[in-house]
Amino acid sequence: MSDWAAHTARAKEWFEQLRDNICAEFEAIEREAGSDAAFQYTPWDREEEGNEDPGGGVQGLMKGEVFEKVGVNVSTVRGNFSKEFAGQVNGASAEAPGFTATGISLVAHMANPHVPAVHMNTRFLTTEKAWFGGGADLNPPIPYEDDTEEFHASMRAACMAHNPTYYERYKKWADDYFYIPHRECHRGVGGIFYDHLECTDDASFERNFAFTQDVGKAFLDIFPKLVRKRMRQDFDASDEARQLEYRGRYAEFNLVYDRGTIFGLKTGGNIDAILMSLPPRATWS
């Protein structure tokens, strides 16, 4: 029988290490731009009536010269879903509402409109079932075909190392998921998105954990390269206006459709951490 508590602890440790590596790289980019900006870390505790150990997390936030606003959050929470929400979660029900969840969530909004915004998250959940989910997607206000191809090539390589069908399946899932119906447009240029990658025993946990780790490593490899390529590129007022309008679309998706936002709000998460994905500035015309 699998020890899901031990598996959750291993996943938590990895997500924290990935956070540390990402934040160090982003701070290094700020140093290259002559900035001393650094992440500020704010611990938070979850509260749930009758639950002596509901968990919590750490919100990491940096505002700098290159990263206008970037949040990197890690949380590990446990407890019970509300009866109304339990039926919407894989493996949970009103009769079995218990869960544990650990994961990392990252959103970066960039100062230069030519540098793409980005989102990445990976997570491990247990209910009556256990599974991994996550992905990464690129969100440029001003898309560049070569940036898009490089980002997708990195995600494709991470997928192909584990299953030749993963990339096309998870790319389509991202295209379908990161779509704004009321605008009839996509949120960005895509990436990969996967969910309910189920673990039924120790062997399947190890396979899915290894894939999830490689998604995080691929992100850490490719995104800083794209930032460094574009962060000194000149821009004008029209470029910034395009960026701010795009950010409005991004905010609309995250507030109306994003399941991660809904999950955080429905499970008593930290409001500031949940809504750190929102841009610091945006416009609606």
Q: Which active-site residues does the annotation give?
A: 119
109-141 as b/e, with b when 16 or more CB fall inside 10 Å?
Answer: bbbbbbbbbbbbbbbbbbbeebbbbbbbbbbbb
Site of tokens 């508590």: 5
For residue 262, what is the enclosing H or E element?
Answer: helix 259-266
Rounded Cα distance, 124 and 195, in Å: 10
d(CA 120, CA 103): 11
Tell me if residue 267 falls in helix, strand or coil: coil
Contact 202, 188 (CB under 8 A): no
Residue 45 burial (C-beta neighbours within 10 Å; 0-12, 13-18, 19+)? exposed
| CA distance readout (Å), 153 to 156, 168, 199, 219 | 5, 12, 27, 11
